[in-house]
A = this chain, B = another copy of it.
């Protein structure tokens, strides 16, 4: 029994090889492999058999060029390591799963220059759509997005002017709402702990909204502390120690994310500080991690998975309400008071 005739193994297989092996025209082979058009069951079988036997993998590059269709969706996000974007990705992947579309991820590290480069690279593959975090982009990136001629969904944030569609929450209002809750609970000497990230516009807007909320009650931030790099949990501990040493009379600490907030909480528990009686704490994001902590940190859910789902639906053209393009979908984060804000 001899092996089936296989073409030069160094060359990758083409439709023509399958065509020759099966005795069916290239065109019909193509139809079978794409499940397009009517093909008799007999030829169908013959083609599939030949393709399998050869181990043929279609060349999507050629296919895309000929059909002017690319089943790729570019997803551009700042980071993969901070727990928030992986969840957005989960929502996107799930939703795209049965649409034939495939996400392709690019990471910017919060750098506008890298964002521009990644976007350029992606657009050069002519994807069916782009999902990109944030509303702030370099001038060139903005221009590319505007003239791309494909659906663009800017995610996470809706405080600004989207190029096309947007799905997200108002970080400004999220900050405002948290400030109001804190003030209502009776806290007055409030400190803020955040990241040194000039290009994290969402964190910036949250802080702006937060200060606005304090201002409504005639308050201002009593102290602030910033960090960059390293283990967020550890940094949270360190920053908390620093700020409390400098301003021992603070009665509330607002953290720009849950990880540093969790670090702060652990620090306070270590030191035996009465939380939330003497000191209240709150973070932002609603990360699942908080569920395992000894005490539950107050936070605000950023609707991460949901944002991914909506964005993907828009790109796939199967969003229940957004159909024309150019919609802004606002989601509303819920405040989860946990155990670190006084009741009443």
Contact = CB atoms under 8 A, between A and B. Distances in A.
Interface stretch (A61-69, A168-176, A333-341): A61-69
A61 to B, nearest CB: 5
Given A107-B93, A292-B233, A10 B64 contact: no
A338 to B, nearest CB: 14
Interface string A1-29: 00000000110100000000000000000
Nearest to A62: B65
A292 B231 contact: yes
Interface string A82-98: 00001101100100000
Interface stretch (A122-130, A186-194, A249-257, A310-318): A122-130
Given A80-B86, A86-B81, A55 B144 contact: yes
A237 interface: yes
Contacts of A87: 81
A147 interface: yes
Interface residues of A, number: 54
A291 B57 CA distance: 46
A107 to B, nearest CB: 6
A273 interface: no
Contacts of A234: 288, 291-292
Contacts of A225: none
Interface string A48-83: 000000010111111011000010000000001100
A143 B9 CA distance: 13
A198 B175 CA distance: 43
Contact of A263 (B12, B70, B292): B292
A133 B57 CA distance: 21
Majority-rule SS of A interface residues: helix
Contacts of A235: 292
Given A12-B149, A65-B62, A80-B89, A231 B288 contact: yes
Contact of A57 (B65, B86, B144, B231): B144
A59 B149 CA distance: 14
A209 interface: no
A81 B120 CA distance: 27
A217 interface: no
A270 interface: yes
A163 to B, nearest CB: 14
19 contacts: A9-B147, A55-B143, A55-B144, A59-B126, A60-B125, A61-B61, A80-B86, A89-B107, A105-B105, A231-B292, A232-B292, A233-B292, A234-B292, A235-B292, A236-B292, A237-B292, A266-B293, A266-B294, A269-B294
Closest 8 CB pairs of A and B: A233-B292, A234-B292, A60-B124, A231-B291, A231-B288, A234-B291, A80-B86, A81-B86
Given A12-B126, A93-B107, A269-B294, 19 more contacts: A9-B149, A10-B149, A55-B143, A55-B147, A57-B144, A58-B124, A59-B124, A59-B126, A61-B125, A62-B65, A86-B86, A104-B104, A233-B291, A233-B292, A234-B288, A234-B291, A234-B292, A236-B292, A263-B292
